[in-house]
Amino acid sequence: MISSAAAKVKVDPRDAKLSMAHFFVAFGALAIGGLMGLLQTLVRSGKFELPWGIGYYQILTAHGVLMGLVLTTFFIMGFQYAAVSRTAGTHSPAARRTGWIGFWLMTLGTLMAGVMILLNEASVLYTFYAPLQAHWIFYLGLTFVVVGSWVDGAAQIMTYAKWRKNNPGQPSPLLSFMAVINTVMWIVATLGVAATVLFQLLPWSLGLVDTVDVLVSRTLFWYFGHPLVYFWLLPAYMCWYAVIPKIIGGKIFSDSLARLSFILFLLFSIPVGFHHQLTEPGIDPAWKFLQVILTFMVIIPSLMTAFSLFATFERYGRSKGATGLFGWLRVLPWGDARFIVPFIGMASFIPAGAGGIINASNQMDQVVHNTIWVTGHFHLTAATSVVLTFFGISYWLVPHLTGRKLTKAMNKLGIIQAWVWFIGMAFMSGAMHFQGLLGGPRRSAFSTYGDSQQALDWIPYQIAQAVGGTILFIGIILVLVIFINLAFFAPKGEEEFPVGEAENLQEKAPMVFENWKLWLGIAAALILFAYTIPFIDIIQNAPPGSKGFKTW
Amino acid sequence: MHMHKFEKIWLIFGISCLVIFLTVVGVSAFYMGNKPPSCLTTIDPEKVDQTKPFDKPGLHKVEGKEWDYELVYVASAFSYQPAQVEVPLGAKVKVMATTKDVIHGFEVAGTNINMMLEPGYISEYTTTFDKAGEYLIVCNEYCGTGHHLMFSKIEVVK
Amino acid sequence: MAKAELKAKQHTQVEDSSSLKGTLASVFLLGLFIIVSWVSVYYLFVDRF
Ligand code: HEM
Ligand SMILES: [Cu+2]
Ligand SMILES: [Cu+2]
């Protein structure tokens, strides 16, 4: 009874508008970024050169910023804003206004950074490592994106807080809880990047100071850089844990364990940034290894997630009379884009996760560090698991927000889109993984390195990447067609916002999970533990600073 | 909060695997000397050419050290000094490198020699060149327009 | 009393572990994949200089 009433709950149209605004920017970024991605693979094949003097690293910067920062942040904020509105109730006018301010700040920042990239004033890639020095407007734009995301996230927190006040002693709705965890993690993590941009890079690019401490800047960046990838992943997990069960007609395997895994992400995804700096000088190997251990802790919630998802599927399958060890796989709704698109994303997380464990394994990183293997890796994690899940979400969320319906034709196109993506990525990411193991570097335009035999051996893999990139670009066109259809042209109707229910309703989630003082306290303690001493070391033993370089 | 028996089995198994992985790399790193390159020595990035040993890039035989040779590189946009060296097969070599300008990578493709070069820091890695052949050194961290043109070669010869 | 019994019964049904054997098999296959990948790259690390 409750569930049928809940199924009809709609996101308020005023909230829907703000979510959709986010999605327009996100899919716009996908369109441009996708074109850049295609061009990169073509250039790297050696068979194609960019026209009009456009630089490879200029388009690579655009691709990284648009895909890694803009598409993800805008989609996530739009999705979480809608998820909170759907499960914790319509946002108050104050919260909505906050959300809009955040949205416009982020959009303004994106435009500023984008213009600087277009003018070739900021070809520093999306990681903007000093002492490469971009135009100050680029850094200021990124600041606006980050600060805007804080304001945007505050809207979700306000509505969550209101729900908690109105429902004392009750565990908050699962999706709202998860959204707020992700937002809080994001705020804590972005403090690092905000610190380096505001206190180091901005004054330095404005000429107020002459030099920058490179290692401090990198350390602050990677304090943010790892939780950044979890910020992308957790909304996908929200869908897998809390939405997919409803779509297939099953139940959430365990509400409490889902919350527990999100709390573990909050605690362990931040104090681990050194695993991106394993081959760097200036950091003590013991502290690197300590953060490697903490990195391995953050694998545990993903192990829990894997179990929960299989269990949800198996429970559902068996309830439909499936037998045998894997009979339940057969009864899953393979014809439903809302299920299969994220499902392909989940399946891709198996090789993606395995690759991640390898990357994080201390000295084993020397085999793969900054090779194109890494690019292959995050095109599985971010550009497949996460992005396909986001596509799957938009196939019901966009029509839900625009008062339309996902038609049979679009459903079918969605399924085709996901398979096209999967095949393209198998070529591109697969070839990147193997080329990387042979030593092929990432972030590099085509080169034979003075006709070195090793470099010549890489070329076939680069051609395979171009084949994959071309297929992927078809996938981008398909998803844009579907998005535009669902936003503007699909028939009017009601599309459900699916929200799963726990299998065991008697089991109330422990209230300690909502004790933010406790979790933020532990998170802060872990961060201080992992970073204080090495960070002081880095500052105390710092070499002379670096002046800025513009080498592009 | 209740956890299914199978989930407990899975987590115990999974966590044990993680502990084994960590033990393997931990023992290899701290007891067998395979720590990732983490040299703590600093240098003035504007005075690299005047600072030993970077005033003389190239391969140098050394005596009375744990290694037989020191192979010294200076990186700058977009080249390495030296551009070509020959290393005798089986030599134990300490590779030392630094940069004069932006961050560069230093990767000897197909080997474990893979380290970041950051202005102000020296990067080192000691290993035994025990497989003959021609090896390409590539810059694997973006450093500017000529990044993909930045390389050097090592020949490991009998 | 009757109610408590009913609850206990429901509980044992949920507990019925035989119904998750496919899940256990799946996660162990996943574990196997992770181990094989990791060991392969570790082999590369040990083999190279
Ligand atoms: C049409 C689909 C896509 C293609 C063909 C593509 C292709 C590529 C290629 C070839 C590179 C590496 C270039 C290099 O290292 O020199 C790259 C980098 C990257 N891609 Fe994609 N990609 C696609 C989609 C995506 C998506 C959806 C995302 C994000 C969710 C993404 C995020 C990134 C990021 C963050 C980088 C790193 C940029 C850097 O190293 O600075 N890509 N992409
Ligand atoms: Cu990371
Ligand atoms: Cu370079």
Q: Check pLDDT > 50 for residue A2.
A: no
Inform me whether the pLDDT recorded for A7 exceeds 60: no
Judge whether residue B60 has pLDDT over 70. Answer: yes
pLDDT at A47: 85
Q: How far apart are CA A59 and CA A66, in angstroms?
A: 10
Q: Could you tell me the distance, in angstroms and rounded to a whole number, from the CA of residue B145 to the centre of ligand 3?
A: 9
3-state secondary structure of B128: strand
**Residue A512 confidence (pLDDT) above 90:** no
Quote the mean pLDDT of chain A.
Answer: 92
A437 is written with which tokens? 């193991």
**pLDDT level of residue A72 (50, 70, 90 thresholds):** very high
Q: What angle do CA B129, B130, B134 make, to 5 degrees?
A: 65
Identify the pLDDT of residue A8: 61
| A208 neighbors A459 (Cβ within 8 angstroms) | no
Q: How confident is the model at residue C18 (pLDDT cuts 50, 70, 90)?
A: low
> Mean pLDDT across the stretch B107-113?
94
Mean pLDDT of A487-496: 92
Mean pLDDT of B107-132: 94
* CA A193–ligand 2 middle distance (angstroms): 15
Q: Which of A109-113, A471-475, A505-509, B150-154 has the lowest mean pLDDT?
A: A505-509
Distance CA A68, CA A73 (A): 8
Domain limits at A210? 2-540
A126 touches ligand 1 (CB under 6 Å): yes
Instruction: Report the helix count and the strand count for chain C, using DSSP H and E.
Output: 2, 0
Give pairs for A505-508: CB < 8 Å, separation 24+. A506/C7, A507/A254, A507/A255, A507/A256, A507/B1, A507/B2, A508/A171
Distance CA A450, CA B153 (A): 9
The strands making up B104-108's β-sheet, listed across from edge to edge, are B84-88, B151-157, B133-138, B104-108, B114-117
CA–CA dist C4, A20 (Å, integer): 49
Find where tokens 């115990």 sit.
B12
Stretch C31-37: mean pLDDT: 95
pLDDT greater than 70 at residue C6: no
Determine the pLDDT at residue C13: 43
Q: Which residues pair with B123 in a beta bridge?
A: B97
State the average pLDDT over residues A254-279: 91
Which ligand lies nearest to the CA atom of residue A470 in the structure? Answer: 1
Three-state DSSP state, B156? strand
Mean pLDDT, to the nearest integer, of B78-90?
Answer: 93
pLDDT at B32: 86
Of the candidates A63, A91, A275, A377, the residue annotated as catalytic is A377
pLDDT digits (tens, 9 = 90+) for A128-171: 998 999 999 999 999 999 999 999 999 999 999 999 999 988 89
Q: What is the mean pLDDT of residues B18-23?
A: 94
Does B35 reach chain A within 8 Å, measured CB to CB? yes
pLDDT at A545 over 80: yes
CA of A236 to the centre of ligand 1 (A): 19
Which residues lie below 8 Å from residue A108, measured CB to CB, with a gap of 6+? A141, A144, A148
In a domain, A551, yes or no: no
* Residue B56, CA distances (Å) to A529, B44, B59, B65 in order: 41, 16, 9, 19
- Residue A3: pLDDT band by 50, 70, 90 thresholds? very low
Kindly state whether residue A550 falls inside one of the protein's structural domains: no
Does the annotation mark A433 as catalytic? no
Q: Counting atoms of ligand 1 from 1, which one is nearest the CA of A444? A: 16
Q: Please report whether residue A545 resides in a domain.
A: no
pLDDT at res. A507 = 78
Residue A547 lies in a domain: no
A529 touches B at CB < 8 Å = no
> Could you give the maximum distance between any two Cα atoms of chain A, in Å?
71
pLDDT of residue C14 exceeding 50: no
Residue of B1, B2, B3, B4 best to disrupt the C interface, most CBs of C under 10 A: B4
- Is residue A372's pLDDT more than 90? yes
Q: Which residue in this structure is represented by tokens 């996460």?
A: A386
Please say if the pLDDT value at position A444 is more than 90: yes
| pLDDT at position B40 | 86
Q: Total domain count for chain A?
A: 1
**Which two structure tokens, joined as six digits, stand for B48?**
């690299």
| Backbone dihedral region for residue A281 (phi beyond 0: left; psi -120 to 50: alpha; all else: beta) | beta
- Are residues A244 and A339 in contact, defined by beta-carbon separation less than 8 angstroms? yes
Lowest mean pLDDT among A270-279, A514-523, B33-42: B33-42
Q: Please tell me whether the overall predicted TM-score, pTM, comes out greater than 0.90 for this model.
A: yes
- Specify if A546 maps to a domain: no
Angstrom distance (rounded) from CA A162 to CA A89: 9
Confidence of residue C16 (pLDDT cuts 50, 70, 90): very low
**Cβ contact (<8 Å) for C24 and B17?**
no
Please tell me the predicted confidence (pLDDT) of residue A4: 43
Measured in angstroms, the CA of B119 and the nearest CA of chain C are apart by 26
DSSP helix/strand/coil, B5: helix
Tokens coding B139: 């810059």
Residue holding tokens 């809080």? A184
Q: Length of chain B, please? A: 158
- What is the pLDDT confidence band of residue A278, given thresholds at 50, 70 and 90? very high
d(CA A294, CA B32): 22
φ/ψ of B65, rounded to 5, equals -120, 170
Q: Check if A298 has its Cβ closer than 6 Å to any atom of ligand 1.
A: no
Does residue A411 fall inside a structural domain? yes
Q: Does a structural domain hold residue A413?
A: yes
CATH number at residue A367: 1.20.210.10
User: Which stretches of A239-360 are DSSP H helices?
Assistant: 244-248, 255-268, 285-297, 300-319, 327-330, 337-359
List, in sequence order, every beta strand (DSSP E) within chain B.
Answer: 58-61, 69-76, 79-81, 84-88, 92-99, 104-108, 114-117, 123-128, 133-138, 151-157
What percent of chain B is predicted at pLDDT more than 70? 100
> Which pLDDT score is estimated for C4?
46
Structure ipTM? 0.95
CA dihedral B108, B112, B113, B118 (to 10 degrees): 110
Mean pLDDT of C8-15: 43
Catalytic entry in A63, A86, A164, A379: A379
- Give per-residue burial for A165-201: e unless 16+ CB within 10 Å, then b: eeeeeebbbbbbbbbbbbbbbbbbbbbbbbbbbeebb
**Apex C37 CA angle, C32 and C40, nearest 5:** 125
In a domain, A436, yes or no: yes
Percent of chain A with pLDDT over 90: 82
A residues 171-200 closer than 8 Å to B (CB)? none
- Tell me the ligand closest to A221's alpha carbon: 2
pLDDT value for A1: 33
